[in-house]
Amino acid sequence: MKLEDGYIQIISKEGEKGKVKIKLWVDVFNPVVHIEVESSDKTEVTVAYESWRTEDAELSFGKGRFGAFGLEGYPGKVIRSKDHIEQTNEGILFFHRNPKEKLIPDIYLKLTELEDFADEINDDIINRTFGGILFGEGLAPDGTDEGIYQGTPFKSWKLKSESAKKEHHISIATHIQQANTVEDWKANLTKTIELSKKDHRQAFTKTVSWWNDFWKRSHIFIHPENPDPDNPVWQMSRNYQLFRYQLGGNVFGEYPTKFNGGSLTTDPVLVDEKKAHDPDWRQWGGSVFTAQNQRLVYWPMLKAGDFDAIIPQFELYRLALPGAKARVKKHFGHDGAVYCEYANIPGMAFGDGWGWQNEQNYRIRGEEIPFGDPRANGATAFNDIVEKGVMANGAIAYHWESQIEHAYMILEYHRFTGADISKYMEFIEQSLIFFDEHYRARQKMRNGKEVDENGKLVIFPSTSCESYRGAKNPADVLSGLKACLNSLLNLDEKYLSSEKKKYYAEFLDRVPDFDYDELDGLKVIKPARSWIRESNQELPQFYPLFPFNQFKLGDKEIELFKNAYKVAPDFRKGTIKSWHQDGIQFARMGMAQEAADYNTKKLQDSPRRFPTFWGPGHDWVPDHNWGGSGIIGLQEMLMQTVGNTIVLFPAWPKEWDVDFKLHAPQNTTVEAALRNGKVESLIVVPEERLKDVKVWIR
């Protein structure tokens, strides 16, 4: 892999016909894959397009359906329709067009009684057509073949060079579109083909230049003068670069990079021999994006300066807004937007989380209730059993923090870049207004008053992450509301009028304070004021530190967080895999040795050939929220940016030499070198921000 230039090179050993060199690269600016073959002697080339999607297939219940997670548990049939593949004069044409008998979002509309809002809700499935054409100059049809790949039968369509040559160029031009007709899609694919046939050497030069500039944005090099691939500490920064490469590969994607594999996945049976599914399959697959996991993929892009790569995640929430507003209007009867933890473009509740209606079963908070069971109390519809508008799945029933976190991510993006966020303001405002409207209404139902005796919201029923259910005033929600509302009040009037700011100031005043307690003789911050039961392994009491920046090093409250970690149950802390973020928390508490120990383990080489194919952990391979949480932890060890101050080396071991360049708010970059515990160089751009830099080496 030529990482700096963004392509792969394969060179054969010297053989009877000399040496062969293959260069594989993807055009950054056009959706075209290029394979260039050079040989010292004239060589013939055969290339095949293999597909296992040659027949319609039913996706079975259970783990087979898990690869289309949006339809997990659906009581009807789920059919994966076949692809269209044919030999043409141009090459091998292949595409998939979603069938007219689509299930999503149609069944979601019916399930959640939102049919009246169908014209407002974004349907990203209808007419979606994607595929491409495999072709090359001097390549001719060479028949078909069949085989088995990793247990999956396939058929292949082949091309072969008409004559032996020293140079061959093979291309795969692709296109994706919600096209009214296949002919419309083909017409636009043709435009891509024509672009790909232009000087591909110039396209390669532009692609290499883009990747060169990408690497200039930021970097972290630990022990740069002593590279040692066997040293887990050195591996951390090497893997930081490799994981950024995986994220950079989707910088212009229409959809976000999925937390459970991104654009580069591996075969299911190679992850787990019990999962002998076809190569399309991944856990938590399909067109849903689990927000608690996705956030960890995108937060590190701010300090990395990958501001273009962060946009698809913002677009997911913007496009889902009509559906999220419709849910609140229909089910709760007030203003605001509510997003499912399993986010999707239509913005509607995830089917298996909402609970499927059928003749055999009712579901109460994730528990299946046989038809006629007295616990159903004679109910005739699903929403007669659970509160209208609320998920049946207890893990996500009231798990609404993620919309606040993504609103704050956009506000932080603005603080870092100054970029125009006008198109996202409605999402931000409606996501916050929901909590004010919803919990004032809930409290009024309980005792006739919208707020408590202190004039504060009572955020109940809620949940603190997925861990503390039936929670009142959860710390993650409180800190998120405080962070967002303070950020809104600091925005220019271009974004918010003075009248709106007055409302948000009053809203902020209604947000309750955090709750504290004494455990084992130590004063601690609590995950919520109270809760009914516990589950999962998160530590949401640390959300006021990260991601919501409510406290910083030097604040007296940092000791309360350290105490909270000490007394937390063992099963909630110390886990390295997947989304666990102890390394971020250690860094934010200034615990250098603990942060170093944890993040070294988090970011050391995976057991697979590619060092950053971590997982499966809780998720899949490569586990992107494993990598995301790890590189956030590494960034936070080097630089923290709460408020206007830029704190350098807040949790960095003195004995680790390092060179880094990271981004800070107000369009600032910080480039520094540390040797033997001393800062050898420091470049801050713009220079006037140097006054805000504080070196914190302990």
Q: Which of 338-342, 385-389, 473-477, 645-649 has the lowest mean pLDDT?
A: 385-389
Type of residue at 230: D
- Cis amide prior to 105 (ω within 30 degrees): yes
Domains in the chain, ordered, with CATH? Answer: 8-217 (2.70.98), 218-284+611-698 (no CATH), 287-355+391-513+529-551 (1.50.10.10)
**DSSP label of 592:** H
Average pLDDT over residues 44-68: 91
SS3 477: helix
Q: How many residues does the chain have?
A: 698
Encode pLDDT of 591-615 as tens digits: 999 999 999 999 999 999 999 999 9
Residue 163: the pLDDT is 96
The span from the CA of 87 to the CA of 139, in Å, is: 12
- Exposed, middle or buried: residue 572 (CB in 10 Å: 0-12, 13-18, 19+)? middle
SS3 693: strand
The span from the CA of 104 to the CA of 125, in Å, is: 7
The span from the CA of 247 to the CA of 298, in Å, is: 9
**pLDDT grade for 381, boundaries at 50, 70 and 90:** very low
* Greatest Cα pair distance in the chain: 88
- Exposed, middle or buried: residue 521 (CB in 10 Å: 0-12, 13-18, 19+)? exposed
The span from the CA of 5 to the CA of 213, in Å, is: 10
**DSSP label of 2:** B
Average predicted confidence (pLDDT) for the chain: 94
**DSSP label of 424:** G
Residue 388: the pLDDT is 84
Residue 698: the pLDDT is 82
Average pLDDT over residues 58-64: 81
Question: Model-level pTM?
Answer: 0.95
The tokens for 387 are: 């509160």
Question: Strand pairing partners for 132?
Answer: 94, 174
Residue 167: the pLDDT is 96
**DSSP label of 231:** -
How would you classify the pairing of strands 646-648 and 693-695? parallel
SS3 152: strand
Encode pLDDT of 141-185 as tens digits: 999 999 999 999 999 999 999 999 999 999 999 999 999 999 999
The span from the CA of 24 to the CA of 35, in Å, is: 5
The span from the CA of 261 to the CA of 476, in Å, is: 27
The span from the CA of 393 to the CA of 10, in Å, is: 49
Q: What percent of the chain is predicted at pLDDT more than 70?
A: 96
The span from the CA of 160 to the CA of 92, in Å, is: 12
